[in-house]
A and B are shown apart, each in its own frame.
Chain A
Amino acid sequence: MEQFLGWPLVRQVLGRDKLGRGAAAMSQRSRTLEPRTVQADRVVDSVCPFCAVGCAQKVFVKDEKVVQIEGSAASPISRGRLCPKGSASKQLVTSSSRVTKVRYRRPHGTEWEDLDRETALDMIADRVIATRKQFWQWEDEEGRRTRRTLGIASLGGAALDNEENYLMKKLYTAMGAIQIENQARI
């Protein structure tokens, strides 16, 4: 009988919560539920990585994993709001389809291969040095000094940090590479 009286429907009919949207719908389990955010070890301030409105985010971390991302109410721009993309950004950072290992495709290869990161980084440096030299140009066809290479190009930056763009442009410029571009052109 006691068990019967505990059923939500009975509590709804007999109790004050006639619409079943409050106490009648609660259980011992739901009464003790806590949001993931409460259990987080720490909360880190961030900014949404999608469009350029720059909504402030709070990133909740537990056991060194991101467990939730929410809008930060303190921001004078976003006032805590996030759009569907910003609200999905926890899924962005924990995506199961994310590629986390270096992939290598050899010339004329038909499949990806594994490659150690150290080896890959070293191979890239070798290729930069070789291509830079191969396409090096001290002067243009009219004899004006150009001090550059036209063999190497780069595209990307609008999704990156200022500090990253700064180092990229600095290194490329020192390499003499000039075809450096990003989404701002596109």
Chain B
Amino acid sequence: MPGLGTSFGRGGATTSLQDLQNADCILIEGSNMAEAHPVGFQWVMEAKRRGATIIHVDPRFTRTSAVSDLHVPIRAGSDIAFLGGLVNQVLSNDLDFREYVVAYTNAANIIDADYQGPDDLDGLFSGFDPETGQYDPISWRYEPPEEMNEEERQRDRELREEADAAGTGQDAKRSHQAARSESHGSGGAPVNWKGLRDETLQHPRCVFQILKRHFARYTPEMVEEVCGIRPEQLHQVAEALTSNSGRERTTAFAYAVGWTHHSTGAQMIRTASILQLLLGNIGRPGGGILALRGHASIQGSTDIPTLFNILPGYLPMPLADHHQSLDEWVRADEGKAGFWGNIRSYAVSLLKSYWGDAATPENDFCFDYLPRLTGDHSTYSTVKGQIEGKVKGYFLVGENPAVGSANGKMQRLGLANLDWLVVRDLQMIESADFWKNGPEIETGELVTEDIGTEVFFMPAANHVEKAGSFTQTQRMLQWRDQAVQPPDDCQSELEFYVDLGNRIREKLAGSTDEMDRPLLDLAWDYPVDEHGEPDAEAVLREINGTGPDGAPLSSYTELKADGSTSCGCWIYCGVFADGVNQARRRKPHWEQDQVASEWGWVWPANRRILYNRASAAPDGTPWSERKRYVWWDAEQGRWTGSDVPDFVVDRAPDHVPADGAKGPDAIGGQDPFVMQTDGKGWLFAPVGVADGPLPAHYEPPESPVHNPVYAQQNNPGRKQLSTPSNPINPSFSDVFPYVFTTYRLTEHHTTGAMSRTLPYLTELQPEPFCEVSPRLAAERGLEHGEWVTIVTARTAIEARVLVTERLRSLRLGEQWVEQVGLPYHWGVNGISKGDSPNDLVNVTMDPNVSIQDKVGTCDIRPGRRPRGPELTAYVEDYRRRAGVDLDNPTDGGTDT
């Protein structure tokens, strides 16, 4: 998400599934879309029917590859090198969409003279602190203006002070650890000035020239050595992309967790963003970057987060060392150009919806009731805390980490060390009965009677037994009506949490302890019906927000910082416009145009394609008749078109903001990225990305390959979780010579609780398997259809093996690389049972988002794995031979 957020200003998909049909070329990478999003894939097929070129870049030849015009096999985890190779092709052959690039991106911005890149510093960017493993980004900034105004001087002072503090490692460390960059889900990182621009793009320190130099080493030969992709294939892809971009044509990108699940995941998405900006494909029909999310409301659970580092609408959780008052909390962003500059209105309105009448101007609107962060509190750190006895109560709400999270054993060891655990689910999942069915019970590493965890399994209502909204992959909220009542003890989360809140508040009523004030003052009055179910629409109304008269607001531009408005999630403001549940709109598509604006509701402001100001040329006219979408109507003095303009609707294309203009007033007529503090798409991220202003290829933490691009082997900013239950395979090890990666199947869903329990789906996909190439099968003596054992330093699992040319043996220069593919859906419960591939995965995380790397190294051998305690001994033997030390479980400093 910060990949998109820092590039464009919002972390959501920039376009819709249906709009893919308007593309002239579609590049799918990091996703097996036909398999994992089959119904969405119909729009790729529509595009193909209309003549579009479909390209699939993936380690495996899959259902998606089978219907693509071109399949490009790639080594798992090497995507930055491939995409960087494409950027290099575009730049060194002058194939960028120059008019778009000059006007709408920061290509012309001049970067500080202190900036140095990985070409200068052996794979590092300037500002790296080896002690903390983190960057101080001050040298990445836009060159300060020669004559600063008072405000700019003030900002500059602050930045320097922060940099000095960062020199001690403290502040920067905290900020980065708190996954700060993720708060750019709807509001870009703040720059302190719009910066000097050289629109001839000739200045040696302008972004365009820096970009050219940075990507120059990503030659076709380098791409082949890193990715195993032949130069002619790279040229084919470059030709397809560039010939299908420009005024008349557009190219769309689609990705999924094949990009996000890496220790360099955010930068993979950044590379794609750079490429799409250079080609002029953002904000235009048939263009954009479509993030394919994998859960019904995973976009929604980020927008209205159950995430540690953000509050609804991507407002950052306050940090103890920076934010001890409302002013301090909003200061970095307030008043900056664009709509994010109104952050105070969004923040105050949220506090009003949380604490209602108790939130007043005098008490900072109860700002002090917000708990503060002091570092990384993400799920893997939490699990480490559980193992260390620091976290004792745990709610699992429709999530099954014993199967679904990386390093399942670590998860189960954490679960076994709790005081109490509440599991809310439909089926008896592996995370609920780990104390009697877990793999560690079989090996004897855990003993049921010794596990003190008290477990409450609270049965959940399913999707037809409650009303509510999901936000799907293109940021669209769709309402579900309730069909039937839940059976027996089953309850919705809405009912459970309203009830829990009520009980806690009743039990604490009368308390004079200051720590209980936030609970007792909470606006928590949710009426329930005769079945005990709260009214979900009333909650959606609260999320939408209300004005002083209590009536629903229709746009976040109406929000005020004086406490007269309340709003539970500012980017969702408008979903209840006119008192109507807009997410419940279901006007059939045959009664609407292709944009179908009256089906559901899309944040923000029902805009279907983001940044659509860029679908018009700088002068406001469509780039071409063929790609007409949103344009300036000079007569009416308004932006108009097929979609809600993602712009100030009456701001003329030639508008130049007054000096000192703030917030939305500072958006120029040619600044389509209205959430960015400079209005431009970021080819170079002067701030906001933890591991560098530009993407650079680093190897996964476990790799058989020495990084051919830089001397720096791994992402220097990666987060490691050093604990004996998370040992890492040494890179280049003969003991673990193969690469593995995990993926989904159409017939199963994530950890299988919703699919391995169903007879239909189990019949279609009855047991776990892995895929290997014929060359690897011959090397290890694996027979098609027989059992094999796959081993990492974490554990060993077994599966049937599919020997297939769908997995290609890749040649990287002199080295052959073999990959093992593993669908990850299995666990020990359900109708179809099996070992969990996620038990093999290590936890090493992207520094921006704390998401793990799903690529690792392994061994694979014929036959089933040992049973019971013999399994532990078997894995221990591997660790010993590979030189893995459990007492010092880092990734061994493979940086060379």
Contact = CB atoms under 8 A, between A and B. Distances in A.
Interface of A: 44-56, 59, 61, 64-66, 69, 72-79, 81-89, 91-93, 95, 97-108, 110-112, 115, 117, 120-129, 131, 133-136, 138, 140, 142, 144-171, 173-186
> Which of B381, B399, B424, B425 is packed against the most chain A CB atoms within 10 Å?
B399
Contact of A79 (B453, B503, B572, B589): B589
B132 interface: no
B276 interface: no
A98 B464 CA distance: 15
B749 A51 contact: yes
A119 to B, nearest CB: 10
B317 A178 contact: yes
Contacts of A150: 377, 385, 390-391
A173 B517 CA distance: 12
A131 B395 contact: no
Contacts of A104: 455-457
Contacts of A178: 308, 317, 371, 373, 377
B371 A110 contact: no
Contacts of B436: 110-111
Contacts of B518: 147, 173-176
27 contacts: A53-B37, A56-B478, A59-B464, A76-B594, A77-B39, A81-B42, A85-B746, A95-B427, A98-B459, A101-B459, A102-B459, A128-B504, A144-B321, A145-B372, A146-B372, A147-B368, A147-B371, A152-B392, A156-B398, A158-B296, A158-B297, A167-B494, A170-B354, A171-B524, A178-B317, A178-B377, A183-B399
B349 interface: no
B816 interface: no
Contact of B399 (A168, A174, A182): A182
B568 A117 contact: no
Nearest to B593: A76
Contacts of A53: 17, 37, 39-40, 472-473
Given A165-B305, A180-B308, A48 B459 contact: no
A136 B508 CA distance: 15
Top 8 nearest A-B pairs by Cβ distance?
A161-B468, A54-B472, A156-B397, A157-B306, A148-B371, A76-B589, A156-B399, A158-B295
B497 A167 contact: yes
A5 to B, nearest CB: 40
Contacts of B385: 150, 153, 179
A98 B379 contact: no
A135 B379 contact: no
Given A54-B476, A162-B468, A171-B522, 13 more contacts: A52-B294, A66-B464, A66-B483, A69-B464, A77-B17, A84-B747, A110-B448, A150-B385, A152-B391, A168-B493, A168-B497, A173-B518, A174-B522
A166 B574 CA distance: 16
Given A84-B761, A183-B399, A54 B382 contact: no
Given A120-B456, A147-B368, A45 B480 contact: yes
B397 A179 contact: no
Interface stretch (B51-59, B78-86, B791-799, B846-854): B846-854
B626 interface: no
B597 to A, nearest CB: 10
Contact of A179 (B1, B377, B453): B377
Interface in B427-485: 427-428, 432-433, 435-436, 448-459, 462-466, 468-474, 476-485
A177 B459 CA distance: 23
A54 B405 contact: no
B507 A100 contact: no
Contacts of A103: 428, 432, 455-457
B462 A92 contact: yes
B591 to A, nearest CB: 9
Contacts of B478: 47, 54, 56
A140 B271 CA distance: 38
B399 A159 contact: yes
A107 B452 contact: yes
Contacts of A158: 295-298, 301, 398-399
B588 to A, nearest CB: 4
A156 B395 contact: yes
Contact of B396 (A93, A97, A156): A156
A117 B489 contact: yes
B488 interface: yes
A176 B515 contact: yes
Contacts of B266: none
Contacts of A49: 296, 462-463, 470, 754
Nearest to A103: B457
A153 B37 CA distance: 31
B39 A83 contact: yes
A185 B378 contact: yes
Interface stretch (B144-152, B280-288, B536-544): B536-544
B499 interface: yes
Given A54-B472, A134-B392, A76 B592 contact: yes
A153 B370 contact: no
B640 interface: no
B304 interface: yes
Nearest to B37: A53
B296 A52 contact: yes
B399 A46 contact: no
Contacts of B868: none
Given A108-B451, A162-B469, A99 B401 contact: no
Contact of A121 (B374, B433, B503): B503
Contacts of B394: 152-155
A84 B764 contact: yes
Contacts of B306: 154, 156-157, 160, 165, 168-169, 180-182
Give the residue among B419, B465, B489 with the most A Cβ atoms within 10 A: B489
B204 interface: no
A64 B317 CA distance: 44
A56 to B, nearest CB: 7
A161 B500 CA distance: 17
Given A93-B464, A161-B494, A165-B305, A184 B455 contact: no
B397 A155 contact: yes
B746 A176 contact: no
A135 to B, nearest CB: 7
B843 to A, nearest CB: 10
Nearest to A87: B760
Given A65-B484, A129-B507, A167 B539 contact: yes
B519 interface: yes
B747 A85 contact: yes
Contacts of B401: 155, 186
Interface in B21-58: 36-40, 42
B427 A160 contact: no
A147 B470 CA distance: 32
Interface string B130-163: 0000000000000000000000000000000000
